[in-house]
Structure 1
Amino acid sequence: MVRTITDMASVALAVTDGMPLLELAAACAIFGTDRPDLVDSWYDFTVCAPAGAQVGGWLHADTPHGLDDLVAADTVIVPPCDDVDRPPPADLVEAVRAAHAGGARVASICTGAFTLAAAGLLDGRRATTHWMHAGLLAERHPEIEVDARVLYIDEGSVLTSAGRAAGIDLCLHMVRTDHGTAIANAVARRLVVAPHRSGGQAQFVAAPVPSATGNSLTDVLVWALERLHEPLTVTDLARRAHMSPRNLGRHFLAVTGSTPLQWLLTQRLHRAQELLESTDESVDQIADRVGMGTATTLRRHFNRAFGVPPDTYRRTFRVERRRERAVPVAG
């Protein structure tokens, strides 16, 4: 089922004393900035914090909303803990647990996963956190399937991300889920960040990518993105990278977290999302433009990846756009 902004209209940021500033600022910039030129109805954003809470050791979180107010939000963002060697604040844990029990989508950034774990929200789920602390999370909570290799993990009502910049990726992923690919890409451009890094992408590159010609894997990725309509093969990509197909596959896995063909499929599907949202082209035409060949092939992969066929996806976001344009503006 495609979730839309109608379902996720409000976002609350949980703040406690000592939390780092960067991750909070990213969530504020993405969810707390109105974008009337993109959509008429953005998120209702609230910062929730106990009285006297300081961010980054010096900035006071001056807000009338306490942690108890998290329960009223559709989405709750939980930034990093100030110290993973200490248990998360009990009032934060209880508030996050209550919000999720009330139907909220709960997402953690970096070591905020420790708060979700303490609330029991990660039991029996896959989760990630900063790779430096993943071992500790797994040790303390063996019931969680901790994956330190990825940028973020979406388990539906519970999402987790790795450190710092991966929190931006997760926030943009939620915008993409709620508003669609075109809007998420527009927000990313304004933040001057990558429009889409898949959750399966590696947190860090274990080794540099060697190249006798000075080209990097980045050159291959850009080159491929410009040719998604072509029947690209691993041999084509390897030739462009001046590597053997086997060597290319190894470096692709290190950098993107997937094989070359899996990466190509993901990019083609996201391009299809954009075209479904922004054009009136038929599914057959879009399938051709993204290199899927036929509408049948596109429908099969699209439904497998997003849980709905392309036609349903298009209708959903077209309805949302019409609804947003119909909202009267108070004067």
Structure 2
Amino acid sequence: MSLGLSASMSGGENRLETISRLAQWRVDTIGPCSYRRSDAFKIGIWNWYLSVEKGRSINVRLFPEPGRVAKERPPLARFLLRASWAGPPRRSFTSPVHEHLLRNSEDFFWPIEMSLGRLTIDVEFLDLKIATNNAKSPVSIWPNESMALQNIASKSTLGLLSRMLTESIHADVTINTTDGVLKAHKAILAACSPVFESMFLHDLKEKESSTINISDMCLESCSALLGFIYGAIKQDQFWKHRLSLLAAANKYSISDIKDCCEESLLEDITSSNVLERLHVAWLYQLEKLKKGCLTYLFVFGKIYDVRDEINSFFQHADRELMLEMFQEVLTAWKPI
């Protein structure tokens, strides 16, 4: 479901790292008339390469790995490239937004001016679609977690039904949300959450009245929560309510939902949401998401894209989180 974090070393000072929809390739000084190619990195369903070719100028190429996948399901990619030199003097070039059908290394190249020093190339995929040979329009692969999500939900449902059978957990319950009422089953809620189970086992008001008041969720968000628990949630419903689901999963100790939300939030980190995601990761102790956000900001240099928002963020950020961010800055700027 998620790309997570990866890094590969190809000898010398060449280094390739990926996070979410970004790849960064650091290349040592390029000699005259030389050619370099990165290690393969996976974005979407394709393995990708970056290459640089030096002549009168430097040509940067982005292309999928040749093979059956690229031939039968070629990617229609929308992306940005950035090239920078460590200097001195430090120089940086950013491409316009490109959108190309990419089958091989000849389908796209980006010429940039030559400079001295170690070269770093970033590629950020804004969208990836699978091109088709029929009349159908290309369809974006993001969000494309429906199969993995359905597997998790189905496995959870089978576990709940099994526990319902073996422990004779059966009863109806009413759920009051901020703007409506939903019906559910005590047995299934108790099977998925120790918090719900405790409500029904002990002499609490929920056991006596068969009613749960969820005052911090609206009807629509709570419907998404029940949809996940029962294995009936739809993909667009999950994406729309991920943050509400995460809060509920943390409150009611539902680990499957919490893990699934973290993986999904790690999948589509962007400059517009990275600070919010970092706060969410800190609030709910999501280590993978926190590491992903810090890597996005400091290893990939996206901190410069959120300069206007960072001051407000620091005014409300936890002191320990600010310390971690400072330590990440020191690590990212450490000489290779």
TM-score, normalised to structure 1's length?
0.26
TM-score, normalised to structure 2's length?
0.25
Higher helix share: 1
Higher strand share: 2
Larger Rg: 2
